[in-house]
């Protein structure tokens, strides 16, 4: 075989390989692993700052995250592409800012967010309730920068005046999903009690 023929064959093989490598391969479907009852129990925190609550049964328990007491996953409503999330925060007695600054921070996470605010008492605990709807900026990371806009989102928030400092419940997700789990959120708040 001549050297030029071998060279031509190598070039042809190289082109075939390049074309084959440039084809977009389908991305693998990742399964969300089911947590064992033991793993759920290990992360299922339901008390802090002198108060306790009951997690709704339909809500899942996520592994611990920095700065959060607990994170619950909320199932997506039919037709919604993603579910919601309820994050629970407590920064310590006298920490975390006042009610107004926290509501302002939640409002800033929406484009043109306009909050609806009310106050209620649950089992002797004063709770400030907040609702915001619109385009969510999905803040994440240490600087809480937007990870992309999410339209037609809702936030249900509750700031609980606990004996050892405020406890914050922040439920976010697609509007339809949040509407479907609003009764769960209200039951969680109704289960609040002092330890």
Nearest-angstrom CA–CA distance, 106 and 123: 26
Among residues 183, 100, 85, 178, which one has the least CA distance to residue 139?
Answer: 85
Please state, in angstroms and rounded to a whole number, the distance separating the CA atoms of residues 54 and 60. Answer: 12
Q: What is the DSSP string of 148-177?
A: --EEEEEEEEEEE--TTS-EEEEEEEEHHH
Length of the chain: 195
* Alpha-helix residue ranges (DSSP H) falling in 34-163: 37-43, 99-108
Query: How confident is the prediction along the chain (195 residues), in pLDDT tens digits per residue?
Result: 554 544 454 444 444 344 444 433 333 322 334 545 554 455 688 999 999 999 999 999 999 999 999 999 999 999 998 999 999 999 988 888 899 999 999 999 999 889 999 999 999 999 999 999 999 998 665 545 556 899 999 999 999 999 999 999 999 999 999 999 999 999 999 999 999
What is the CATH code for 45-194? 3.40.1000.10
The ranges assigned to domains in the chain are: 45-194
């Amino acid at each position: 075989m001549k050297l030029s023929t071998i060279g031509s064959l190598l070039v042809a093989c190289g082109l075939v390989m390049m074309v084959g490598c440039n084809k977009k391969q389908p991305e693998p479907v990742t399964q969300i692993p089911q947590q064992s009852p033991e793993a759920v129990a290990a992360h299922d925190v339901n008390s802090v700052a002198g108060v306790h609550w009951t997690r709704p049964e339909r809500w899942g328990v996520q592994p611990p995250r920095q700065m959060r007491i607990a994170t619950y996953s909320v199932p997506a409503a039919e037709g919604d592409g993603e579910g919601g999330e309820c994050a629970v925060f407590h920064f310590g007695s006298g920490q975390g800012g006042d009610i107004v600054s926290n509501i302002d921070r939640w409002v800033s996470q929406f484009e043109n967010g306009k909050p609806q605010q009310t106050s209620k008492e649950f089992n002797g605990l004063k709770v400030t309730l907040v609702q915001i709807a619109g385009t969510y900026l999905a803040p994440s990371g240490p600087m809480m920068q937007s990870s992309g806009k999410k339209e037609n989102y809702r936030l249900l928030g509750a700031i609980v005046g606990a004996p050892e400092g405020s406890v914050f419940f922040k439920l976010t997700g697609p509007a339809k999903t949040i509407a479907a789990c609003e009764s769960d959120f209200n039951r969680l708040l109704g289960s609040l009690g002092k330890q």
